[in-house]
Amino acid sequence: MPRDILPLIEAIRTTRLLSVSRSDNGHIQFEGAPPTKVSGFYWIYTDYSLDELETCTPSTAKNAIDIARLAKLHRDLPNVCSIQKQGFRLVYNGIAGQSLGIRGRLGQHFNGGEGTGALHIGRSSLKDLNRWRVSYATICPKGTIAPDVASDYRHAKSVERIWRLQHGWPLLCTS
């Protein structure tokens, strides 16, 4: 049952706030990164202020999320997520399937994925990776690696919807 999964996933989310960086060869790196091609949930946080988000230059890549427009549109609405941890505000959440996995999907948000509905942070004026954090919870096993929370991926959309009803709509989410 999706409602039973939510507290288990929240227990993981609240204990993970992981840094984002680039390797010497320019590849995106996530502290404590999930194994490749593992499905689950992910959350993106930033310490950029609401004013900085509203005045940023978003990526112009095809289907990139217009960060500035969404920040302005959602500002001061009562049901926008207000979760903060260590000075970072939760601004986005999503689901990743096994084909791309959590690590791959997060990579699209930071590096860009042409044609995908992603934040494309590295192609925006908000590209200081020290100002971003991520969290994730895996739900399906990968080889000998057990998931954070054992769940069937077919419940993922319901769990995400319930999470948003409980915690508010993340500032930069479109759907």
Q: Write the CA distances from 99 to 39, 63, 84, 89, 104, integer angstroms.
A: 8, 20, 30, 29, 9
Which residues fall within 8 angstroms of residue 48, CB to CB, at 6 or more apart? 56, 126, 131
**pLDDT given for residue 141 in this prediction:** 85
Cα within 13 Å of Cα(105), Cβ side: 26
DSSP bridge pairs for 20: 30
pLDDT of amino acid 69: 96
- pLDDT for 115 equals 66
* pLDDT tens per residue across span 76-106: 999 999 999 999 999 999 999 888 899 999 9
DSSP state of 147: P
What's the length of the chain? 175
How many other C-beta atoms are found inside a 10 Å radius of the C-beta of residue 64? 22
**DSSP label at residue 145:** B
Which residue stretches of the chain have pLDDT < 70?
1, 115
Spans of all domains in the chain? 2-167
pTM of the predicted model as reported, rounded to 2 decimal places: 0.96
* Residue 104 neighbours by CB under 8 Å, 6+ apart: 36, 37, 96
